[in-house]
């Protein structure tokens, strides 16, 4: 927030015509509070998310908007017959500070409008507000390849749904542990071959494993009756092509453990495949041994990178789920953008304690620094690859 002195100085520096234009625009921006009758769009559905927290789902856009329990009470008042000021008067409490209460309600209604929840069209946003909003979304470029993953996995998901959950999860954990133990033993007792011409075959096998990795995420989603919207290729940090399955609707999963299991399904699948590769490495020689050795190194590297919570990866999503947090990375970057641009924070971040704000900023800085490092590594790799192809 700017100090009053800074604000006064800025006002004095504004020419008279610009000041008048600013006042006129400000008046237009707030006029809707007095004149527009507010209603929630017909496509908006109220549902529950992590730990039973209320969510709004827009069936038209497929987007989710988190709201507080107090916010759900205000939503019941948006019947198309009341203005924003009318809502303020209806929720006013004699024991509450009227100015703070009005500010909170107006901010909440404004955020609903900007999120597309109300029938009223969103207002044009300032650049810094758009930057902060983008930092919260954390969306990377995507290329969908199929929207039929559910058809492929439905028969398997139906079988898993009939089995006791502890048995399925327990067997999966045992297989994961066995895979990690076998891979660790192979790495400790066998000298791994250097990268050779056979590393190309290992890379192709790894691509197949990555496809299975994503199918594992999708299978757990489908077993939990969470629809998978699509599968395709995305650019992590805008430079790293990786596969993905769109599990946006996992926001509807209320428990922390199921959400963490969705995130860890892929890495657990990788661990099982690493164990199988290690068995081949331990019991073969020659070309097969070299391919297995190269593949195991790639598998271990993939698991390490994928479990790193400083990237928007499975490790990050698992940690986030275990903590009961939502969009931890986006919130962290939003605080950094707020510090850099003074863009106003959304209401759900304004209530964060000082300790939480420091934690968010620290995590955001670490993610940014590691992200810059990874972008440099990937760009260097791309440069050497292109140089080798051209040379």
**pLDDT score of 17:** 43
- The larger pLDDT score, comparing residue 195 to residue 76, is at 76
Cβ-contact 113, 346 below 8 angstroms: no
CA distance 181 to 209: 19
The answer on pLDDT for 11 being more than 60 is: no
Cβ-contact 142, 244 below 8 angstroms: yes
**pLDDT score of 391:** 61
* Eight-class DSSP state of 139: P
CA distance 237 to 111: 28
Tokens representing residue 147 in the block: 């929207």
Which stretches of 156-239 are assigned E, i.e. beta strand?
231-236
330-352 pLDDT, tens digit each? 999 999 999 999 888 888 888 89
54, with CB counted inside 10 A (0-12, 13-18, 19+), is: middle
The answer on pLDDT for 13 being more than 60 is: no
Cβ-contact 320, 262 below 8 angstroms: no
CA distance 225 to 239: 33
**pLDDT score of 390:** 75
- CA neighbours closer than 13 Å in the CB half-sphere of residue 84: 22
- CA neighbours closer than 13 Å in the CB half-sphere of residue 322: 10
Residue of 180, 133, 45 whose CA lies nearest to 331: 133
Q: DSSP readout, 249-281?
A: GGGG---HHHHHHHHHHHHHHHHHHHHHHHHHH
221-258 pLDDT, tens digit each? 999 999 999 999 998 888 888 899 999 999 999 999 99
The answer on pLDDT for 300 being more than 70 is: yes
* Eight-class DSSP state of 248: G
**pLDDT score of 275:** 97
251, with CB counted inside 10 A (0-12, 13-18, 19+), is: buried
Instruction: Give the number of other CB atoms < 10 A from CB of residue 20.
Output: 11
305-333 pLDDT, tens digit each? 999 999 999 999 999 999 999 899 999 99
Tokens representing residue 251 in the block: 């926001």
Rounded to 5 degrees, φ, ψ at 45 are -120, 135
Helix, strand and coil in the chain, % to nearest 5? 65, 10, 25
164-188 pLDDT, tens digit each? 999 999 999 999 999 999 999 999 9
201-214 pLDDT, tens digit each? 888 899 999 999 99
Cβ-contact 230, 146 below 8 angstroms: yes
- Calculate the alpha carbon distances from 384 to 133, 371, 372, 388 in Å: 36, 20, 18, 6
CA distance 88 to 99: 10
Residue of 110, 58, 66 whose CA lies nearest to 330: 66
């Amino acid at each position: 927030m700017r100090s009053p002195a800074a604000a006064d100085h800025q006002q004095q520096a504004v020419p008279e015509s610009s000041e008048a234009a600013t006042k006129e625009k400000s008046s237009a921006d707030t006029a809707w509070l007095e004149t527009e009758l507010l209603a929630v769009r017909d496509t908006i559905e109220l549902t529950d998310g992590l730990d039973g927290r209320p969510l709004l789902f827009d069936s038209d856009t497929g987007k989710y908007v988190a709201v507080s329990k107090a916010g759900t009470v205000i939503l019941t008042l948006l019947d198309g017959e009341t203005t924003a000021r009318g809502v303020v008067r209806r929720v006013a409490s004699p024991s509450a500070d009227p100015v703070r209460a009005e500010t909170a309600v107006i901010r909440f209604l404004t955020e609903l409008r900007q999120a597309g929840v109300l029938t009223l069209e969103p207002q044009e946003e300032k650049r810094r507000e758009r930057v902060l909003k983008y930092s919260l979304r954390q969306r990377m470029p995507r290329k969908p390849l199929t929207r039929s993953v559910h058809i492929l996995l439905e028969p398997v998901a139906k079988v898993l749904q009939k089995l006791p959950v502890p048995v399925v999860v327990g067997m999966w954990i045992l297989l994961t542990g066995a895979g990690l133990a076998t891979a660790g033993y192979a790495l400790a007792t066998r000298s791994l071959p250097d990268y050779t011409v056979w590393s190309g075959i290992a890379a192709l096998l790894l691509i197949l494993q990555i496809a299975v990795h994503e199918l594992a995420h999708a299978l757990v989603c489908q077993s939990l009756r969470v629809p998978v919207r699509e599968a395709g290729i995305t650019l992590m940090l805008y430079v790293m092509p990786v596969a993905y399955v769109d599990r946006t609707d996992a926001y509807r999963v209320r428990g922390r453990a199921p959400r963490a299991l969705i995130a860890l399904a892929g890495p657990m699948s990788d661990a099982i495949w690493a164990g199988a590769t290690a068995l081949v490495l331990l019991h073969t020689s020659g070309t097969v041994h070299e391919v297995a050795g190269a593949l195991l190194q790639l598998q271990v590297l993939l698991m390490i990178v994928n479990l790193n919570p400083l990237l928007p990866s499975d490790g990050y999503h698992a940690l986030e789920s275990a903590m009961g947090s939502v969009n931890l990375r986006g919130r962290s970057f939003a605080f950094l953008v707020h510090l850099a641009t003074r863009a106003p924070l959304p209401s759900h971040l304004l209530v964060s304690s000082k300790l939480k704000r420091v934690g968010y900023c620290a995590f955001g800085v670490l993610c940014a620094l590691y992200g810059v490092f990874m972008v440099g590594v990937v760009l260097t790799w791309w440069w050497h690859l292109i140089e080798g192809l051209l040379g």
